[in-house]
Copies of this chain bind each other. A is one copy, B any other.
Amino acid sequence: MGGVQARMEAALGRLLPAAHLAPARLHEAMRYAVLEGGKRVRPLLAFAAGEVSGARPERVEIAAAAVEMIHAYSLVHDDMPCMDDDVLRRGKPTVHIEYDEATAMLVGDALQSLAFQLISENRLSENPSFQLEMVRTLAVASGSRGMAGGQQIDLDSTGKSLAPPELEFMHIRKTGALIRAAVLLGFLSGERIDQEERQRLDRYAKAVGLAFQVVDDVLDHEASTATLGKTAGKDSKQGKSTYVSAVGAAQARAMAEDLRAQAHGALAGLGARARRLGELADFIVLRKF
C-alpha cells in the first residue's frame, strides 16, 4: 500500500495548482488542505478497483486524485465553526485556523471544482462516455443525495437518538457514497469494463463504505473507554448517534464482521484481479486506528 500512497502524494502535489500562482494565498491553502494528509483510503480503493479492469496507473491516479479533492474539501468545510468547529486535523491546525474562515470556504469550493476539472481535462478512458459517467458518479456521490446530504442529515439529527436503519441511511450518504465513487472511478479508468463485474464492485463498495463507519464508531468508543476509563467518545459527547450507542459495541463489531464477509462475497470469482480489494476490506475492518 505504501507504493500507492507515495505515488498519490506525488500526483496530488503535481495536480494541485502551484503555490506561487495567483491567487497565491488560495493555492497555498488548497495545498495545505490536501497534501501530507490521511491514510488515502479512497485512492487505495480506486487503485485496487483499477486492477480488476486493467487500468493504467497514470489514469487511476487522476481519478483517485479527483475523489481525494472532494474528500479534502468536505473536511475543510466540516471543520469550520458553523459545522463541527474543529481546530486540529491530523495534528495540524485546520484550514480556517491556519488561514481564515473565508479562505477555508473558498478552498473547499475550489477543490470541488478542481475534482471535476481533473476528470474532464485528462484522458481517463478510450471512451469519453465512460468519462462522462465518472463525472456523473462523482457529482451524485458529492451532492445532496450523497455526501452533502449525509452531512445535512447528521446536522438535523444531532441530539436525537437514531435507530440502526436511520444511521445506515445517513452513513451510506455521508461517507459511503464517496467510497463507492472511489471504487467505481478506479474501475471505470480501466480497459475492460464488464457490467456484471461493475455491479459486483458496487456491492463490495457499499459493504466496505458502511463497514468503514461502523469500525470508526467502535474505535472511537474503545479509544475513549481506554483513555477516559468510562465515558464514550467524541461523537457521543457531541450528542451524535453511533453504531455503538445504537446497538452496543459487541453487536457493532459483529456487524462490521458481517459487512467484511459481504465484501468478500461480492468479489468471489474475480480471482487474483480482486486480491487487493479483498485485502483492503480486511484492512478497513481489522484496523486498530
Binds B, one of A17-25, A240-248, A254-262, A279-287: A17-25
**Contact of A113 with B152 in the complex, beta carbons under 8 Å:** no
Chain A 152-166, CB-CB to B under 8 Å as 1, else 0, gives 110110000000000
**Contact of B120 with A135 in the complex, beta carbons under 8 Å:** yes
Complex Cα distance A119/B113, Å?
14
Tell me which residues across on chain B come within 8 A of A152, comparing CB atoms.
23, 25-26, 103, 106
**Contact of B112 with A145 in the complex, beta carbons under 8 Å:** no
Complex Cα distance A142/B100, Å?
21
**Contact of A22 with B143 in the complex, beta carbons under 8 Å:** no
Q: Is A54 part of the binding interface, using a Cβ–Cβ cutoff of 8 Å?
A: no
**Contact of A77 with B103 in the complex, beta carbons under 8 Å:** no
**Contact of A144 with B17 in the complex, beta carbons under 8 Å:** yes
Contact flag A149-B23 (CB < 8 Å), given A103-B155, A132-B128, A136-B121? yes
Complex Cα distance A276/B80, Å?
44
Tell me which residues across on chain B come within 8 A of A83, comparing CB atoms.
102, 105
Q: Is A71 part of the binding interface, using a Cβ–Cβ cutoff of 8 Å?
A: no
Complex Cα distance A142/B117, Å?
10
Tell me which residues across on chain B come within 8 A of A101, comparing CB atoms.
82
Contact flag A113-B143 (CB < 8 Å), given A80-B105, A148-B106? yes
Sampled A-B contacts (14; CB under 8 Å): A22-B153, A26-B144, A73-B109, A74-B109, A77-B105, A82-B100, A82-B105, A106-B152, A116-B116, A116-B138, A119-B135, A120-B139, A132-B132, A132-B135
Besides A30-B144, A109-B109, 14 other A-B contacts (C-beta < 8 A): A22-B149, A26-B144, A26-B152, A73-B109, A74-B109, A82-B100, A82-B105, A105-B105, A110-B143, A113-B146, A116-B116, A120-B136, A121-B136, A128-B132
**A-B pairs with lowest CB-CB distance, top 9:** A113-B143, A82-B101, A117-B139, A120-B135, A120-B136, A110-B144, A26-B152, A110-B148, A128-B128
